[in-house]
Amino acid sequence: MEVQWAGVEVPRMGPQHTAVGLIFSLLLGAWYVQGLEMSVGKIPFLQAVNGSTVLLPCTYLSCIGIKDLYFSWSFNENGTMQKVCDSYIVSEESKPEVSIYRERVEFIGKNIDRNVSILLWNITFEDAGEWTCFGRNPKEKGRNHSTIFTLIVVDELRVVDNTLTIIIASAVGGGIAGLMAFMLLKNFTLFVLAKLEEKNKECLVTSSGIDNTENGLSGSKADSKPTPKRK
């Protein structure tokens, strides 16, 4: 008896085939995880001014390649998904013939570097919302994936007030500069004290030698009187 998992027929195994089945499942799971992926980049949203032209990015990736990949763009209009454009990509080297169903939309991906991005001209407030990029790869048993790009339309872009950031940066920079100045002053002070201590030691040694000479101690230059002879 056979069962289906992820669109693939898998034979039912008895207890004696548990290890083999486990390995097969892990390999199949690894293949499945590395399947088709649609991506709109690291920043899945954009804030743009009303009347401007924006790029809605999307790329696809498949570890085992594509064949007759179907992709589409859709727009969530008040809860209803409206198709924007769609097409099939026969192979990674072919250029798709894209059908467009919405005004002011231009397909610019051309399948270069797996790019299926679109350009939206003269945006309006009605264009604000979620844009979905969808893909389905028959080469991966119909594996499909979708990703959402959010467009925010405003009257004008707000000027970010960086005053607080500048103040914080200045305070941090001043603190670091003060700490460095303190460390330099500390090292200089220790250096001067070490030199003074060394000089004091030299003075003590010199002074000790002079005292020994004046007192006629051994090793001094004082004249020694001869010992009187006994008669």
Euclidean distance between CA atoms 50 and 120, whole angstroms? 12
Q: What confidence tier does 69 reach under pLDDT thresholds 50, 70, 90? A: very high
Q: Per residue in 145-185, pLDDT tens? A: 999 999 999 998 876 666 676 778 777 777 788 788 888 88
Instruction: Report the C-alpha gap between 96 and 135 in whole angstroms.
Output: 13
Higher pLDDT among residues 122 and 6, named by residue: 122
Handedness of CA 174, 176, 181, 186 (dihedral sign): positive
Query: Dihedral through CA 64, CA 66, CA 70, CA 75, nearest 10?
Result: 60
- Residue 142 CB partners (closer than 8 Å, separation 6+): 7, 136
Q: Identify which of 32, 57, 52 has the alpha carbon closest to the alpha carbon of residue 145.
A: 32
Q: Are 86 and 99 in contact (CB under 8 A)?
A: yes
Nearest CA-CA partner of 40 in 58, 21, 65, 67? 58
pTM for the predicted model, two decimal places:
0.58
Q: Are 129 and 56 in contact (CB under 8 A)?
A: no
Kindly tell me if the per-residue pLDDT of 91 is higher than 60. Answer: yes
How far is it, in rounded angstroms, from Cα 105 to Cα 174?
52
Q: What is the mean pLDDT of the chain?
A: 79
Question: Model confidence at 51, in pLDDT bands (50, 70, 90)?
Answer: very high
